[in-house]
Structure 1
Amino acid sequence: MNLPKIGFTLGDPGGVGPEIVFDAIVKNLSNNQFISVVYGPKSLLDNVLWSPLVSLMRINLCKDLTYAQEGCINFVDCGEYKGEIVRNACAKNGQISFECILKAVSDAKATLLEAIVTGPICKESFLLAGLDFTGHTTLLKGLTESENVSMGFYTERLKTVLATVHIPLSEVPKAITQTCLDNAFENCLNFSSNLNIKDPVIAVAALNPHASEKGMFGHEERTIIKPTIVKWNNNGHRIFGPIPADTLYHRAYKGEFDFVISLYHDQGLIPIKLLNFHDAVNVTLGLPFIRTSPDHGTAFDISYQGKANSGSLQAALKLALKLSNVVCHTS
């Protein structure tokens, strides 16, 4: 059986990324479901091999993926990390994490990987390195020249797709357009198909309190959101809304809806992290390959202390495998 190759980027070297990546691989490799390929600077290896679990694993240093083997951690050296590890935002952390992503994306675009699971990066480190990206989503969109990319978040009982990404809250109302919603609906339906959810029931969160109470608190529900929903429903889909956000996520969690379209970052992420902080998964929708990641950041304050929880990254790995199997089966 040909096992899928799953690429892992370590994220910001000063954060918890290196720890949780190796921990997640070691705890799941014995299932014999995948071949692991880790992208990072070789000089960081000594800083993660102190873990009793990781120290027992064989590390296979490989120049390219033709040398990748089963039953071990295959490691692709990406750049050189000089000096002591800096456990906060800095330029060298940003540059190294960027180089890891570049190499992994290159291999994924060449179909050498079935999926990429990314460790958390630090946006400030990127900026200090002169890299003007607001996160993985915009970076991956640019590297793959993808037109329609959305942030999605997955748990067993609550799944959401964001209509906008990392933008100031003050800019959200003008960003909510019919085109913006069209993109989110399209990516949500494709995500549903990849999860084998047939004929999904989708709910759209309102932007304003109480869905604006017939225009008392805003016009977006009446002039933008509702007409877009009607257009898609006329094509045979089941999309409901706009529904006041203060009740919608409870209803979705109870099983009334398969997916929620959230209009901005915190609207969708607060319920996800409240209910599933340690096992929610971020998935980038609209790329030519599968990309998942944990739903948390670098956590510099607990890195390299044995305190990091790899639960969310393990969930990201399991979702990547699930999507890989579906995509491979249906292709």
Structure 2
Amino acid sequence: MSKIVAITMGDPAGIGPEIIVKALQSDVLKNVHSVVIGSAELLNKQLDMGLFSNVSFNVIDKVSEANFSPNIINVIDTKLEDLNSLQPGKIQPQAGDLAYRCVKKATELALQGEVNAIATAPLNKEALHSAGHMFPGHTELLAKLTDSKDVAMVLYTDSLKVIHVTTHVSLRKFLDTLNCERIEKVIKIADDFLKKIGIKHPKIAVAGVNPHAGEHGLFGDEEIKIVAPAIEKMRQHGIDAIGPCAPDTVFLQAHQGKFDMVVAMYHDQGHIPLKLLGFYDGVNIAAGLPFIRTSADHGTAFDIAWQGVAKADSMIESIRLAELLS
């Protein structure tokens, strides 16, 4: 039986609708079975841009009604409160609410076994919050919806894979709350994830916190007191974890093949090198969920929303990986 990927629209005022339609017309995805969760009316408006041809929408109520013939996009309609008042590139509560409802529906389908994986288009955190859904992002929302306690964000390209100890918190809070237990959990999540995708003996580099990984305490002692003990404990559990590694070189070393994944301590430490190397085709994966969830590794791009110029490379890759890894 073919695997099915649920694709969530993300924030409808962003580029999500456009890159979904573009992605599903790519030859790369011609054999991938998918169902879009989103506003059918808004998706249909993408055809008005004149960029798409030979495609039609099959609006369905349940996955079993999907038609996986070529040039058919299956949509489980999730209606907007007022499509006519929706403005491209603007933070709006109804847009944040739709993004939330799409993820919630896709999660239900995945937990029920009706779809095998989820690929999410970008949502806007301010819009999400304005609708009363107080989550920092997709990873935290999905963790809540699935009651998953140990979840971490993975950024994925063919040549560099990064997992994060913390993501959407301030640097001050990160430093004040950094602890061995969380680092240990993320190293374990990294090892499990890499084995799940076929790497039998993962080699995991763990970045330090401070310049040159603290230089033996000269530039900070977090490596000595927190990071190194966590690494040693996981090595005792049979995980090949190396570090603390100097953050300014470890990502290049991983890119060159020395490591299978890097454990980054905080958001920008991991995001900057990954996005430099894979801004258009990098994929965000939530590791530790009961199913595979991938996402385009960029934001809602409000500045170019509904203009027909957005690149769909990362969305294509996220859908492809969702199907491949599930």
TM-score exceeds 0.5: yes
Q: Deviations over 1:165-223 (max 9, x none)?
A: 21001111233211111211111011101210111111000101111111122111001
SS of residue matched to 1:305: coil
* Larger mean Cα displacement after TM superposition, 174-183 or 309-318: 174-183
CA distance in 1, matches of 2:102, 2:114: 15
- Per the alignment, in what secondary structure is the counterpart of residue 244 of structure 2? strand
Task: Give the Cα separation in 2 of the matches to 1:45 and 1:177.
Answer: 44
* 8 A Cα contact 2:217 2:224, kept in partner: yes
- Offset at residue 274 of structure 1 (A): 0.5
Matched residue, 1:77 = 77
Report if aligned partners of 1:281, 1:294 keep a CA contact under 8 Å in 2: yes
- Residue of structure 1 equivalent to 2:5: 6
Instruction: Give the Cα separation in 1 of the matches to 2:184 and 2:20.
Output: 35
For residues 131 and 30 of structure 1, the distance between their equivalents in structure 2, rounded to whole angstroms, comes to 32
Residue 270 (structure 1) aligned with residue 272 (structure 2)? yes
State the Cα distance separating 1:232 from its structure 2 match: 1.4
Q: Specify which of 35, 38, 42 is matched with residue 37 of structure 1.
A: 35
Shift in Å, 1:310: 0.3
Deviation of 1:43 after TM superposition, in Å, equals 2.4
Q: Is the 8 A contact 2:7 2:34 kept in 1?
A: yes
The runs of 5 or more residues in structure 1 that have no matched partner are 325-331
Q: Distance in 1 between matches of 2:303 and 2:85?
A: 16
Q: Which secondary structure state, in structure 2, belongs to the residue aligned with residue 216 of structure 1?
A: coil
Aligned Cα root-mean-square deviation (Å): 1.4
**1:146: how far off?**
0.4
Shift of residue 81, structure 1, vs aligned partner: 4.0
- Indicate the percent of aligned positions where both proteins have the same amino acid: 39
In structure 2, stretches of 5+ residues that fail to align are none
Which residue is equivalent to 2:324? 322
- Name 1:177's counterpart in structure 2: 179
Q: CA–CA distance in 1 between the matches of 2:28 and 2:39?
A: 22
SS in 1 for 2:113: coil
Determine the structure 1 residue equivalent to 2:134. Answer: 132
In the other structure, the counterpart of 2:169 is 167
Hey, what's the Cα distance between the residues in 1 that align with 2:210 and 2:42? 47
Counterpart residue type for residue 7 of structure 1: A
User: Do the aligned partners of residues 320 and 129 (structure 1) sit closer, same or farther apart at CA in structure 2, a change above 3 Å counting?
Assistant: same
Q: Aligned AA for 2:173? A: E
TM-score when normalising by structure 2: 0.95
Q: For residues 232 and 307 of structure 1, what CA distance do their matches in structure 2 show?
A: 46
CA–CA separation in structure 1 for the residues paired with 2:172 and 2:142: 25
TM-score (norm 1): 0.94
> How big is the shift at 1:85?
2.8
How much has 1:53 moved relative to structure 2?
5.9
CA gap of 1:29–1:263, structure 2 versus 1, over 3 A, is closer
User: Secondary structure in 2 aligned to 1:50?
Assistant: helix
Runs of 4+ aligned structure 1 residues displaced above 6 Å come to none
Q: Is the 8 Å Cα contact of residues 110 and 291 (structure 2) preserved in structure 1? A: yes
> Deviations along 1:260-319, whole A, 9 cap, x unmatched?
000000000000001111000000011111100011000011011111000011111121
Partner letter of residue 12 of structure 2?
A: P
Question: Aligned-pair distance for 1:158?
Answer: 0.4
Is contact 2:80–2:94 with CA below 8 Å preserved after alignment? no
Measured in 2, the distance between the counterparts of 1:30 and 1:216 equals 51
Q: Whole-Å Cα distance in 1 between the matches of residues 52 and 293 of structure 2? A: 24
